[in-house]
Amino acid sequence: MARERRLFSEEFKREAVKLVGQPGASKAAIARDLGIGANLLGRWYRDSNVDAEVAIGREKVSAQEYERMRRELAQVKTERDILKKALGYFAADLK
């Protein structure tokens, strides 16, 4: 027999997440006390942190932006390595 899916209010979720944020409290113990699964509580906690990061300006970058930054980083690393070799070459000439 299938279990009926329980629905929780946003207020209940917020209060549960607040409990996780308190020092000395484990997600498993809080979930047990509230009668919910630890994985569910963990998902609520992650979701609330993602929302908080977006609210303070830490948005996730798009895949295109990520690729552009990855290519730029690779180029900068290559330039750095070339400059390191040149520095070693010219430093050897000064000796």
Domain check: are 39 and 68 in the same one?
A: no
Domain check: are 51 and 17 in the same one?
A: yes
Distance CA 80, CA 91 (A): 16
Q: Which domain holds residue 49?
A: 8-60
Domain check: are 52 and 65 in the same one?
A: no
- Give residue-wise pLDDT tens across range 59-83: 667 888 889 999 999 999 999 999 9
Say if 92 falls within a structural domain.
yes
Residue 69: burial class (beta carbons within 10 Å; 0-12, 13-18, 19+): exposed
Output DSSP code: residue 36.
S
Asked whether the predicted pLDDT for residue 85 surpasses 70, the reply is: yes
Q: How many domains does the chain have?
A: 2
Domain check: are 70 and 36 in the same one?
A: no
**Two tokens at 72?**
């730029």
Say if 95 falls within a structural domain.
yes
